[in-house]
């Protein structure tokens, strides 16, 4: 996975408040990697990050690098001009390959570089990042 930084499709984004809890999720893109919180006792993934394992309630959790690959669980092509006329854009729910059907490891993001008409559930995708101020937002593109 090459996590290089690309131009953003949005003129402006609502950005997260970076804090101790979520810092690695929102900034590890600087290193070209996606980090998700994981329990070091039982191995469960925790997203969004809470500092507590939802499976075994351990506090021994750490942001852990994932492959950045997954499949599209669902998507929508937005046409409403919330941001002015920037054209249709694609919001995706990506189930990362580290998760399972019963306990998906899922993040909301954008699919970039694929014609909106061609987006499909099940499509394999990989992460890249766009920088906005102090956060590196995970974005996805189709694995062709």
Partner 1 sequence: MTGRAEHRRRSERDAVISGIGQSEVGRRLGRTAMSLTVEACLAAAADAGLTLNDIDGLSTYPGGVMDGLNPGFGGPGTDAVQDTLRLDLNWHSGGHEGPAQIQAVINAAMAVTTGLARHVLVYRTVWESTAQGSGGRQGMGGAGGGRARMAGSLQYLLPFGAVSAANWLAMNAQRHFHTYGTTRETLGEIAVNNRRNAGLNPKAIFRDPMSMDDYLAARMISTPLCLFDCDVPVDGSTAFIVSHRDYAPDVPNTAVGINAVGTALHGRPSWDQRPDMEESPLRAAADAMWARTELTRADVDTAQLYDGFSIITLMAIEALGFCAIGEAKNYLEGGHRISLDGELPLNTAGGQLSAGRLHGFGLLHEACVQLRGQGGERQVSGEPEVAVVANGGGPIAGTMLVTRGVS
- Residues of this chain that interact with partner 1 (CB under 8 A) are 10, 12-17, 19, 22, 47-48, 73-80, 82-84, 89, 91, 93, 101-104, 106-110, 116, 121, 132, 135, 137
Backbone angles phi, psi at 24, to 5 degrees: -70, -40
61 binds Zn ion (CB under 5 A): no
Backbone angles phi, psi at 75, to 5 degrees: -160, 165
Output 59 or 108, the one with its CB closest to Zn ion. 59
Output 104 or 124, the one with its CB closest to partner 1. 104
Write the CB contacts of 37 (distance below 8 Å, at least 6 apart in sequence): 24, 25, 45, 46, 47, 49, 50, 51, 61, 62, 63, 64
Q: Using CB under 5 A, list all residues that contact Zn ion.
A: 39, 41-42, 44, 53, 55-56, 58
């Amino acid at each position: 996975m090459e996590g290089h930084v690309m131009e953003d499709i949005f003129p402006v984004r609502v950005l997260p408040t970076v804090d101790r809890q979520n810092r690695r999720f929102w900034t590890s893109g600087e290193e070209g990697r996606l980090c998700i919180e994981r329990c070091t006792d039982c191995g469960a993934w925790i997203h969004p990050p809470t500092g507590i394992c939802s499976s075994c309630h351990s506090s021994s959790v750490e942001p852990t690098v994932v492959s950045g690959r997954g499949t599209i669980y669902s998507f929508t092509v937005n046409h409403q001009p919330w941001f002015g006329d920037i054209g249709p854009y694609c919001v995706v729910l990506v189930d990362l390959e580290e998760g399972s059907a019963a306990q998906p490891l899922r993040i909301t993001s954008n699919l970039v570089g694929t014609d909106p008409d061609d987006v499909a559930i099940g499509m394999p995708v990989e992460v890249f990042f766009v920088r906005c101020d102090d956060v590196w937002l995970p974005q996805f593109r189709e694995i062709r």
